[in-house]
Structure 1
Amino acid sequence: MSTTDHPLLQGDLRLAGRLDWRFFDLLAALALTGSLQKAAKAAGYSYKGAWLVLDAATALTHAPLLAKSAGGTGGGGTTLTAEGQALLVAWRELQTRHAAFLHEQAAWLATQPALDALLKRMSMKTTARNQFFGRIAAVTAGPSTTTVRVALDGGQQVTTSLTTEAAQELKVKKGQEALALVKSSEVVLVTDFGGYRLSARNQLAGTVSRVERGAVSSLVGLTLPGGTVVTASVTNDAVDGLALAVGQQATAVFKAYAVMLAVRA
């Protein structure tokens, strides 16, 4: 596979914009087996699919890549032409150079701490729409439950409640970089408290900056002072009932147990 794995950088190598690692796996399998049928299976192609991709490659190179031999004492087979072999050798060399290039860029990123930290936050893949980056401002450990407060760049704080065992496994400590993850379905928007106070630990006031209406529910973005955006999944009936619109003031409310904490290993 041509994708060079790296925590921050990845790159797909292609020749002529079309010939990728899978095609060259096919060529390598052909060189090894001498059988298009076996090579197609090894590279994950159907027999017809292998022929089609080889025909397309031949049209690009304007030179035959395969040579077929008739059956005889040793049986027939398919081999790579000199052009096909040269293309495979070039691919392997380019792969090595490509990996070295990515390694060099990763080394440069390591000298840029701010950019490196930003990209590391981006490298985490999760279904949670809300990913709040900050530093742990306080850790309050109890016999069974530990409360952690994460200070965001905009001055707000997000509180999470997790088991003390989990907190110990994560080795949470004050000053540590952390991500607070919250599903959009866990966020409740409040436009008027009506004189009541809520028990939810997290109450972040901001301005509605987007309303994306769907068939049944809407995604509502609430921009906090400092630029952090909280996304809430709200039924269309609730959007209509609250008359939610861009520019409106609202508060995003979610409980501490709805917040998942992530720290770098």
Structure 2
Amino acid sequence: MSDAKQSSPSAGGGRFRAARIFCVPDDVKFLDTLELTRLSEAFQAWTERAGRPDVAVSRNRVRLIYLMLRHTGARLGEVLGLDDRRDINLDTLAVTYSHGEGEGREVQIPAELGEALALVFSNPAYASLRGILFKLDQGHVRRKFYERADECGFSKELVNPSTIRRSRAVELLRDDVPLPVVQRILGHSTADLTAAFLHLPEDQRRKVERQVLARETRRTSARNAFFGRVAQVRKGDIQTQVVVESLGGHAVSSVITNESLKNLGVTEGSFVTAEIKAPWVVLETCDELPKATTTNRFLGTVELTRIGELTSEVIVVLSDGTRLCALITTQSARELELSEGRQVWAMFNAFAVVLHVE
């Protein structure tokens, strides 16, 4: 089970707590962060034990392959296919995994891995290997992985490249990285593939699937709706604050009456849909987080504006594809100089959020 820390989302839209939505079932094999660190140390010690310079180079290549898997969550074939001269940028600490045609995907690497690569790139002993540094036989790499597993007391399946990839996904989600971000890092075509690494109780899984299907079939018309899990319920004497963490990575705060809380059966962990009527959505074009009393504030991009005589409709797309529709006065729309592609803050008060339970 996930051991995520409990904390309150921030007022500016909050921070998505992916760890609270998913848990890892007991039969799913993965290494936690401490175990991954032990494995990294085993590769380092193995490299340092090399008696000859050429053996040290050979071992270090395998170590770097492991570190790339461990920190980027890539497939083994993707790492072995890297051109270290073309695909690694140490200035931005990024590696690009290509898939034939297209731009591929860029994944950030930690500074310590960047330093390890910089040492290799500047070492004359690796000069003849530039461009093919990672091009080793898969069978050879796996055998060396299994040898390090024995040293750490791990089973072979725990250091299988696929398990290391899964371990990185679990690590990121336990660190509250939004599911769509983990999906992009791992190169999954859909978030469903990423979520398959993890576990959701069957009854909740069916609810999520129904919501995902509904969102896909209504992609162009579904607006002002956030589906997610209730992360926090703070009950007062008359009203209750409910914080919903959407699957797309947003935290939405709602204030409802205690009677509504009881009638809806809303509890922490339950799934709900939070909806906001368009007239309650306020727009702001400042660069920084607006200083406003509105609890919910989200940065998005203007997708469409419909200018009317008195009022105008503005569609704002958030980072996960969620669309917010705002109805504002035409005078405000002109003063804000809204246009397609412009970044804008969409804001609404917690009292404007209505909760729906299936």
State the match for 1:237 in structure 2: 331
Q: Tell me by how many angstroms 1:196 deviates.
A: 6.1
Structure 1 partner of 2:279: 185
Task: Report which stretch shifted further, 150-159 or 209-218.
Answer: 209-218
Letter in 1 for 2:264: L
Of residues 205-214 and 158-167 in structure 1, the stretch that sits farther from structure 2 once superposed is 205-214
The alignment partner of 1:237 has SS state of helix
Question: Greater share of helix residues, 1 or 2?
Answer: 2
What runs of 5+ residues in structure 1 fail to find an aligned partner?
A: 1-109
SS at match of 1:198: coil
Structure 2 vs 1, CA of residues 258 and 193 (structure 1 numbering), >3 Å: closer, same or farther? farther
The structure having more radius of gyration, on CA atoms, is 1
Shift of 1:233: 0.5
State how far apart, in whole Å, the 2-side matches of 1:120 and 1:209 are: 21
Q: SS at the partner of 2:291?
A: coil
| Pairwise CA distance, 1:248 | 0.9
Q: Given the superposition, is the C-alpha separation of residues 115 and 155 from structure 1 closer, same or farther in structure 2, using an over 3 Å criterion?
A: closer
Question: d(CA) in 2 for partners of 1:158 and 1:195?
Answer: 16
User: When you count strand as a share of all residues, which structure comes out higher?
Assistant: 1
Q: CA RMSD in A?
A: 3.0
- Which residue number in structure 2 is paired with residue 144 of structure 1? 238
TM-score, normalization by structure 1: 0.51
Separation in 1, partners of 2:209, 2:248: 19
Identity score, percent: 35
Q: State whether structure 2 residue 297 is matched by structure 1 residue 198.
A: no
Higher relative contact order structure (alpha carbons within 8 Å, sequence separation ≥ 6): 2
2:228 matched to which residue of 1? Answer: 134
Q: Equivalent residue for 1:221?
A: 315
Aligned residue number for residue 18 of structure 1: none
**Residue 354 of structure 2 corresponds to residue 254 of structure 1:** no
Residues 284, 290 of structure 2: 8 Å contact kept: no
Cα distance change, pair 183–239 in 1 and its aligned pair in 2 (3 A)? same
Residue of structure 2 equivalent to 1:106: none
Q: CA deviation at 1:153?
A: 2.0
Measured in 2, the distance between the counterparts of 1:195 and 1:204 equals 9
Change (3 A) 1:184 1:195: closer
Letter of the 2:292 counterpart: L
1:94-153 deviations in Å (ceiling 9; x for gaps) = xxxxxxxxxxxxxxxx9x935434457799xxxx95222111111111111100011112
Q: Does the 8 Å CA contact 1:216/1:235 hold for their aligned counterparts? A: yes
Q: Distance in 2 between matches of 1:131 and 1:228?
A: 8
More divergent stretch after superposition (113-122 vs 197-206): 113-122
Cα separation, partners in 2 of 1:193 and 1:229, compared to 1, 3 Å = same
Aligned residues: 152
Residue pair 1:129, 1:183 contacting (<8 A) in 2 also: no
Partner of 1:16: none
Q: State the AA in 1 paired with 2:257.
A: T
Counterpart of 2:356 in structure 1: which amino acid? A
Cα distance in 1 for residues equivalent to 2:337 and 2:237 = 44
Contact 1:136–1:151 (CA under 8 A) maintained in structure 2: yes
Over 3 Å counting, the alpha-carbon distance change for 1:174 and 1:122 in structure 2 is: farther
5+ residue gaps, structure 2 = 1-202
8 A contact 1:154–1:224 mirrored in 2: no
The residue number in structure 2 matching 1:156 is 250
1:252 Cα deviation from its structure 2 partner = 0.8
The alpha-carbon distance between structure 1 residues 122 and 257, as it changes in their structure 2 partners (threshold 3 A), is farther
